[in-house]
Amino acid sequence: MNPPESRIQAWAAELGFDACRIARATRATHAPEFHAWLADGRHATMDWLARAPERRCDPREVLPGCQSILCLALNYFPGPQAPASNFRIARYAWNDDYHDLIGRRLRDFDARLQSLGGTQKPYVDTGPVLERDFASDAGLGWNGKSTMQIHPRLGTWFFLAEILTTLELQPDPPSHDHCGNCTRCLTACPTRAITAPHRLDASRCLSYLTIENPGPIPLEFRHAVGDRIYGCDSCLDACPWNRFATLSREAAFHAREAVFSNSLIDFLALDDAGFRALFAGSPIKRLKLPRFLRNVCVALGNTGSPDDLAALKHTAANADPLVAEHARWAITEIAKRHGHQ
């Protein structure tokens, strides 16, 4: 009979994962740095990261009897060129929500592992696991200077998922850091959110500011947003390891035509029902309409023309003060560029 590790690797491939490695369940390598990052307030308003932080640092606190962690990667690269549009969305959100797609596969994987006698807890960004530490421990790439995981074959364009298990499995050898002297990701960051190699200040990061941030986008960062309306790929785009990246086999990650056929000004006409219909099954839906319109207004303020002023003036009367304030800012910015009132 094949050893369990071989069967597990075969199951991962059958379920469509692009890599599967095994780490030993132990305290995370960078647990002290994580605690210091929280103490410095670099997690911004993401308070859930500071709740029971030790659980994030040790999988045995999450799953009693945990012996091993399966570290899984799924390629989501939809291509080097974004669809023709006057806005940008981070590639991972071009179409369906990866939580749903990967979650179904993890549940299937869990059922198979139960046949080996294991008890599992699967996660895809949904549980207290310092996933990049364990991925590096398992040899599934290494943690880059941007803090993003890098894989020698997938580059930066992949999702991580983990399965904590009580099965005692042979761990894979760890990865080595192959960033060398490269600092392209630091240079590429529009807001200098990567304050030093492996150090991220979330309060400056455009992904945080356009997604997790519940309030206004600070004035000092609005111009840096450019034409982005959800997330930022700048540090990922800059990584030279992406020269080896190949297109994802998952059609669910390729660009959704119904979204990219719109222009920024079209988005301003969305009501709540229209927003939910357009982004059904998309990670953008979790943003909810006010924050989405906030982002659209900033992008229009940076790139819009006088033709956009009428729609923005209508949006400036929105009942939500978050939306209204960003619309007024956009009107002012367009007027500055074009001399219109």
| Catalytic residue IDs | 125
CB atoms within 10 A of CB 233: 19
7 φ, ψ (degrees, to nearest 5): -65, -40
